[in-house]
Amino acid sequence: MHRKFMILTAAALVLGMSVSMAFALGGGNGRKGKFLYSKNCRSCHNGGTAADLSPADRTQAEWQATFSDMGKIKCSGDWTLSDEDINDIYTYLYDYAKDSPSPAKCS
């Protein structure tokens, strides 16, 4: 009985992590993400305060790795964005990465 409970608990944890990771890394609104990126990120990532940064500066895998560990994003502790907004920004950056069908530079 105890072993069965442990297996079910582990399965539930894996499923829960998969669902949260799917939400955290995709399925957002890229159009909204572009607006949010311009409003919240470009003010620093303009080559002055922080390095210039556009979606096409990284591959989709690199964006995924960055956003899967928010600790890699130095300024993330200062953000006042919701998880949904962060997911939208991620979706925009991922969808227009340098290896995507439509790489984009910020203007």
Token readout for 51 is: 């390095």
**Domain assignment of residue 105, yes or no:** no
> CA 77: distance to chain centroid?
14
The whole-chain average pLDDT of the chain stands at 81
Rounded to an integer, the average pLDDT of 19-33 is 71
Percent of the chain beyond pLDDT 70?
73
Residue 15's pLDDT is 42
Residue 7 pLDDT > 70: no
Domain total of the chain: 1
**Domain assignment of residue 104, yes or no:** no
**Domain assignment of residue 100, yes or no:** no
In one-letter notation, the amino acid at residue 91 is: T
Residue 1's pLDDT is 62
**Domain assignment of residue 101, yes or no:** no
**Domain assignment of residue 103, yes or no:** no
In one-letter notation, the amino acid at residue 55 is: P
Residue 94's pLDDT is 97
Residue 69 pLDDT > 60: yes
Domain range for 52:
2-95
**Domain assignment of residue 26, yes or no:** yes
Rounded to an integer, the average pLDDT of 95-102 is 94
Report whether 104 contacts 55 (CB < 8 A): yes
For residues 32 and 81, give the distance between their C-alpha atoms in angstroms, rounded to a whole number: 13
**Domain assignment of residue 106, yes or no:** no
Could you tell me the pLDDT band of residue 6, with boundaries at 50, 70 and 90? low
Neighbours of 92 (CB within 10 A): 26
Rounded to an integer, the average pLDDT of 42-54 is 86
What would the DSSP string read from start to end of the chain?
-HHHHHHHHHHHHHHHHHHHHHHHTS-S-HHHHHHHHHHHTTTTSSSSSS----GGGS-HHHHHHHHHSGGGSGGGGG----HHHHHHHHHHHHHTSTTSSS-----
Residue 64's pLDDT is 95
